[in-house]
Amino acid sequence: MKKISLLLAAILLMFAVLVGCSETDPSEESSGGSSGSEGDEESVEVDTNVEAADVEAPTEFTFGAATVGGFWYTLAGAMSDTMNELFPGSSTTVVEGGSVSNLLGLGEGTFHIGFSNGQTVPEALEGKNAFEEPIDNVSTLATLYPNVFHIAVRADSDIHTVEDLKGKIVSPGIKGYSGELAFKEILELNDMSYDDLEGIEYIGTADAAQLLRDGHIDAITGMLAAPVSTYQELDTTLGIRLIPLKDETVEQLHAANEGYLPYTIEGGTYENIKEDTNTVAGYTVLLANNDLINEDVAYEITKMVVENKDAWANISSVMSDFNAEFSVENNVGNMHPGAERYYKEIGALE
């Protein structure tokens, strides 16, 4: 049994909040879409339990995460420390990255493993959008938790549908992040574009919340873990509503990109929002480079991630639903043969 101290990560998170860096807001893609643990300033101790694996592993692993202070970076740090015990004689280096850059790094062999968003994986496999060429040497080890598409407005707003955003000022998050890209696709599927809006504010979730509170914008959108603490605070102090997506919009998003999966934000997720909200989610995934991570090593990493699920949930409640069955059910793209062997061995995959 091992005690991993994450005090440094918590201090860095506190510093990021104090200096007002919205780019490292834990609810943003750059931070991996964190949860209600946003802003935690206390030391977190994580219990992990592994035995040294009798396999030939790389002497050095490189782990693509996201910006310091966010959940992806903190989770990668905890996992990498555990990997160092799983593979004695090996070391793991966590590198700042992001959903797209991690996939590019994995494809190029710069990273051995890394996090990305599920809706970005099909684009990489097909060579679309940010990917000039298909990336065919990357596969999934585990699917961890959902980043859910939210549209939030003030409770007294006259906005009730996506179409009602016409003539309104909206913050879609940081330009080029997954939430903004999803919002543009959703507008297009509803015969709209940014030209139909009065204005766009490219800012982080915390700053957007303040603008919504002050009446300077009409709506916030983003791919966020549910619940996200910024919205919880708005729900209790300002009063907000969530705008649902039409069934056909959800179906069209999934048809165009299998990484967008139907999702319901259940009533009560935010205390004063009692009704269910129909939307989509893209799931955070742990990926591996097939050329650098062989079947035996992938098997051991997948086993480590699944069998220490309670340790990761102790870092953030966003991981509370994660287990082997969850990972298999929400898998997007190709599964690594080593991961597949592990899931079959424990009965999570037929």
pLDDT in tens, 205-264: 899 999 999 999 999 999 888 888 899 999 999 999 999 999 999 999 999 999 999 999
Share of the chain above pLDDT 90, in %: 75
Element (H, E) at 113: strand 113-117
Both tokens assigned to 335: 């599964």
Beta carbons of 48 and 82 less than 8 angstroms apart: yes
2-146+283-345 and 148-281 have identical folds: yes
Alpha helix ranges (H) inside the chain:
7-18, 71-86, 99-108, 120-126, 178-189, 205-214, 229-237, 247-256, 295-307, 309-315, 324-329, 337-345
94-98, 191-195, 227-231, 317-321: which is most confident: 191-195
DSSP 87: S
CA distance 69 to 27: 11
The whole-number pLDDT of residue 35 equals 34
Between 228 and 63, whose confidence is greater? Answer: 63
Overall fold of domain 2-146+283-345: D-Maltodextrin-Binding Protein; domain 2 (3.40.190)
Can you name the CATH fold of 148-281?
D-Maltodextrin-Binding Protein; domain 2 (3.40.190)
For 149, 192, 252, 283, 335, the CA distances from 255, given in Å and listed in that order, are: 17, 19, 5, 16, 20
For the full predicted model, state whether its pTM sits above 0.85: no
**Kind of pairing, strands 169-171 and 45-48?**
unpaired
Task: Looking at 27-98, list the stretches that DSSP marks H as alpha helix, in order from N- to C-terminal side.
Answer: 71-86
Domain boundaries defined on the chain:
2-146+283-345, 148-281
